[in-house]
Amino acid sequence: MYKILSIALNTFRESVREKIIVVALLFGGILMASAVFLSPLALGAREKIVTDVGLAAISIIGVLASILLGGALVHKEVEKKAIYLVLTRPVSRPFFLVGKLFGIMGAIALVFCAMAAVLVGTIAAGKGALHPVVFASMYLSLLETGVMCSIVLLFSTFTTPILTSFFALCFFAAGSMSNDLRAFAEKFGGAASKLVTGLFYYLLPNLNVFNLRHEAVHDLPFRAGDVALATGYAAVYSAVALLFACFIFSRREFR
């Protein structure tokens, strides 16, 4: 555990000192500011616009940061041979990956918290009500980012940063639409398409379970059980992705 924390701390330091973090924060800030400036156009719906754009910005920035920061996570270490300094010590390869995952998630959580604080501050400054569902939505977005981090880590163990980012984006897009794809196949597809979509449905992450933005914007009721279920789903999916990553990474040779 001590060694995992050391690797996580190193990865966290490396990530927060990357310019990409500043860019992500800047981009998120611009998105939120645009919501504030555009909200007068929607008469009487300022709070909804700010909440909607703010939550979307948090989710997008979180996912983008995980892809951009995590894409080069392992590749950069191998290319610079820095990984040799870790793996030639009494540190197992799975420990290395777990440490990396924790470190990158820590850095993204920091960005996440900063943006969440800005959103909460913006809503509060506009004398809007901070409903629990807003916090639940932010929490689920954080879980979604965690799942994306583990997917990015899986790809980064065996392919290049560009391909990692590409695959991760594909997973994100497909995962965000998995419910729709399945429903479409159920309604219009044949047996074969139902089988294929069913397979993808279970293989790809169902990112819809982390989307509570509609409820947050309109202050609709939400079930705590769904949030708990989403938490379990994120934990299991991340663990499975991490297991695959460890399996691939343990067999990898560093030529």
Partner 1 sequence: MTKPSDFQSPCGKWAATGGLCGFAGALNERGTRMNVLRVEGVKKSFRGDLTLARREVLHGVSFAAREGEVLGFLGPNGAGKTTTIKIILGLIRPDSGLVSVLDRPAGDASAMARVGYLPEMPSFYPHLSLAEFLEFCGRLSGVPGGKLPGRIEQVIERVGLSGSGELRLKVFSKGMLQRAGLAQAIIHDPDLLILDEPFSGLDPIGRKAVRDILVDLKAKGKTIFFSSHILPDMEALCDRACIIREGVIVKTVGLDDLVRLGEGKVEVTARGWKPGMLRGIEDLVESWGARGDEVRLVVKSQGKLRGVIEHLYAAGAEVLEAVNEQASLEDVFMEEIARPGAAPKRGAKREEAVLSGF
Binding site for partner 1 (CB under 8 A): 2-3, 6-7, 9-10, 13-14, 17, 80-82, 84-92, 253-255
Measured distance CA(67)–CA(144) in Å, rounded: 12
Closest approach of Cβ 67 to partner 1, in Å? 20
User: Locate tokens 């920091």: which residue?
Assistant: 110
Output 10 or 179, the one with its CB closest to partner 1: 10
Q: Least separation, in Å, of the C-beta of 4 and partner 1?
A: 10
Closest by alpha carbon to 209, among 223, 198, 190? 223
CB 62 to partner 1: min, Å = 22
Structure tokens at 135: 């916090």
Distance CA 112, CA 138 (A): 9
Nearer to partner 1, 15 or 178 (CB): 15
What tokens does 56 get?
Answer: 């979307």
Residues in the chain, overall count: 255
Nearer to partner 1, 3 or 194 (CB): 3
- The nearer residue to partner 1, 1 or 43, going by C-beta atoms, is 1
Compute φ and ψ for 222, nearest 5 degrees.
Answer: -135, 155
User: Closest CB to partner 1 among 202 and 247?
Assistant: 247
Query: In angstroms, what is the minimal distance from the CB of 73 to partner 1?
Result: 13
Task: Name the region of 129 (left: φ>0; alpha: ψ -120 to 50; beta: rest).
Answer: beta
Minimum distance of partner 1 from residue 68's CB (angstroms): 16
The two three-digit tokens of residue 146, written as one number: 């965690």
